A = this chain, B = another copy of it.
């Protein structure tokens, strides 16, 4: 590896995380809520200068929604099977010393999917040996990504609106009134995971309210049950009984690990920040 300093930034829709990396090791990080939607059109050069000033200068490698048409500059998508080398070959350079990595697209028959930012984590996890090079990787969240790696490349992937659906139901659905309790991987969550096996999500969700009304389930358990229903449906469709490497924070990771175990599979939690840094380092090697 060439000895060098870079500033790598995972710049999403609502959050941003920057890492100052010297000779492959993170020596400073910061996280804020200055996602791309919080930056005015034309405001990116200024924000980049501020960030660079705080971190002592260096070439910058940006990934995520900053490279979308809602960000600084559209960096496009590379097709599957996608490698770090392919990403490196398609970076865009909005100004001197700043590179934005492209996203990845996957098209299969009439179905298509895209990612932007997750690819650096996924490829980094494998590059760093945090996951085998044919792993099934999962990034839970608002839009949960499931990626099948092959020979260290992203061979295919699919996104489920699992977290967004939970928020929609809690915020705007009739059953949202019931969803006031905590969400933990306990009995109500597990009951939801198994209920999801009925393959009747629209009815299982409606059933939350009559279950309270008829005294069949404590209202306090409704949110955990709904979370189990949604995460259970997500895991059953995409993991089945396979082993999964989870790139997740501990709380969400515990819910997915529980659902995967209930469905007969097993999971390993991978540090998603370490995976991103590994991916950024390896990408930089191809670029420098």
A171–B198 Cα distance when bound, in Å, is: 28
* Minimum CB distance partner of A174 in chain B: B164
Residue of B162, B206, B217 near A202 (CB, 8 A) is B162
Contact assessment for A161 and B202 in the assembled complex, using a CB-CB cutoff below 8 Å: yes
**How large, as a class, is the contact surface on chain A?**
35 or more
Contact assessment for A171 and B173 in the assembled complex, using a CB-CB cutoff below 8 Å: no
- 1/0 contact string of A180-200 vs chain B (CB within 8 Å): 000000000001000100111
**CB of A95 within 8 Å of the partner chain:** no
- 1/0 contact string of A140-173 vs chain B (CB within 8 Å): 0001100000000000001111101100110111
* 5 closest cross-chain pairs (CB), A and B: A160-B202, A112-B214, A200-B237, A161-B206, A160-B203
Residues in chain A within 8 A of chain B (CB atoms): 105, 107, 110-114, 143-144, 158-162, 164-165, 168-169, 171-175, 191, 195, 198-203, 205-207, 210-211, 213-214, 216-217, 230, 233-234, 237-238
> What would 12 more interface pairs be, CB under 8 Å, given A107-B216, A111-B195, A159-B206?
A110-B217, A111-B211, A113-B207, A114-B213, A114-B214, A159-B203, A159-B207, A160-B203, A161-B205, A200-B237, A202-B233, A203-B238
